[in-house]
Amino acid sequence: MPTRRDLARTLASAGLGVLAPTPASATQAAAAPARQTVLAIGAHYDDCPFGIPGILLQAIARGHRVVILSMIGDYGNWKPVRGRGPDLVEGTRRVNADYGAESRFLSFASGKIQTTDEARRAVADVVAEVKPDTAFVLWGRDQHPDHEAAAELAKIALHLGDRVLADPFAPYSTPRRAYQYDNGPRHTIGFVPDTFVDVTREWPRAIEWLGRLMAVTRNEPYKADALDGAQRLKESIARYRGATCGVQYAEALAAVNAYPQALF
């Protein structure tokens, strides 16, 4: 009777092989997703932590790099933080970092974002540096001019960014997937989501993240025992999105393109 060694030699000579048991560590390594870079783009310091904090926390918890780009970095003309614009920016950096997100700010001021060549290049430079695998951008139709301008600049940077760089032949990678998010009532117009994400598990930290940013805005200590206006609005939206898909809290997106989904 042939031995196991004889059988192995026979299979090897035929170009086949004997499958050895796979160590558990190797199986786990194969199953672990590769680390991605996520870029979330907004006009203001609070757009992403209001729109998709739960989704960003999910990415961070899975070990992905998360970068938040706020196009407005000059708050010198914004009355709620009169004289404290730089403090708002630095406070936002600290709060975002506490939740695991990096921050980028451009030099625009509110009401002064324009789709100029200089502005296109500024956003494209960030995309070139960050090299996102997945991107989140504001929905393009909005009552707030800053949101609409930021959405247009993000669209150009993510689709044609290499063509507006100082060197159009420099290395440049566009994200494999991109999604649009909304900013709630009295802002977003005509947003119809096609992608829902259950953020129930992340909800306590998501609403805390937003509340801490609002406290920085008011220059007050954060109070965890009461929701402010922004938090209450976000909670209403998240509950509504959750009811739409049968969970407690959800965030909703509109995919820029159609993407295949793994159902099982």
pLDDT digits (tens, 9 = 90+) for 135-181: 999 999 999 999 999 999 999 999 999 999 989 898 898 899 999 99
Quote the distance between the C-alpha of residue 160 and its chain's center.
20
Of the candidates 126, 136, 131, 133, which has an alpha carbon nearest to the alpha carbon of residue 54? 136
Task: Give the count of beta carbons closer than 10 Å to the beta carbon of residue 96.
Answer: 23
pLDDT reported for residue 263: 86
Which residue do the tokens 């007050």 mark? 220
pLDDT reported for residue 85: 97
Q: What is the pTM of this model?
A: 0.86
Q: How many Å apart are CA 184 and CA 195, to the nearest integer?
A: 16
Examine the pLDDT at 7 and tell me if it is beyond 50. Answer: no
- pLDDT tier at 32, thresholds 50, 70, 90: low
Examine the pLDDT at 16 and tell me if it is beyond 90. Answer: no
Residue of higher predicted confidence among 114 and 39: 39
Q: How many Å apart are CA 125 and CA 196, to the nearest integer?
A: 30
Compute the average pLDDT of residues 63-77.
97
pLDDT digits (tens, 9 = 90+) for 169-220: 988 988 999 999 999 998 999 999 999 999 999 999 999 999 999 999 999 9
Q: In the numeric block, which tokens belong to residue 142?
A: 């909005």
pLDDT reported for residue 33: 66
Name which of 10-19, 54-63, 235-244 the model is least confident about: 10-19
Could you tell me the end-to-end alpha-carbon distance of the chain, in angstroms, rounded to an integer? 44
- pLDDT tier at 261, thresholds 50, 70, 90: confident
Examine the pLDDT at 9 and tell me if it is beyond 60. Answer: no
- pLDDT tier at 27, thresholds 50, 70, 90: very low
Q: How many Å apart are CA 200 and CA 211, to the nearest integer?
A: 17
pLDDT digits (tens, 9 = 90+) for 86-142: 999 999 999 999 999 999 999 999 999 988 999 999 999 999 999 999 999 999 999
Q: Is 172 left (phi over 0), alpha (psi -120 to 50) or beta?
A: beta
pLDDT reported for residue 41: 98
